[in-house]
Amino acid sequence: MSPDLALVIGNKNYSSWSMRPWVALQQAGVPFREIQLWFDDNASAKGVEQYSPTGQVPVLLGNL
């Protein structure tokens, strides 16, 4: 069975904002699916608009 939560993040190696919820969910033992987006040269994530109306990550999505 697939997790009901998905965490949309940027690169964990470069974005502490993406790393924080990832670590918290891992440590709490919450099952989630990770969706990692890649940033272009303008620091915008390609495809983020389908997950986040603000165009920012991280985003936690529920009831998938």
pTM of this structure:
0.82
What whole-number distance in Å separates Cα of residue 13 and Cα of residue 31? 21
pLDDT at 14 over 90: no
Q: Which of 25, 48, 28, 24 is nearest to 36 (CA)?
A: 48
Cβ atoms of residues 61 and 51 within 8 Å: yes
Looking at residue 48, its pLDDT comes to 86
| 3-class DSSP assignment, residue 51 | coil
Give yes or no for residue 39 having a pLDDT over 80: no
Fold of 5-62: Glutaredoxin (3.40.30)
User: Would the pLDDT of 1 be above 80?
Assistant: no
Domain boundaries, the chain: 5-62
pLDDT at position 2 over 80: no
> Are 24 and 34 a contacting pair, CB within 8 Å?
no
Question: What is the rounded CA–CA span in Å between residue 7 and residue 64?
Answer: 11
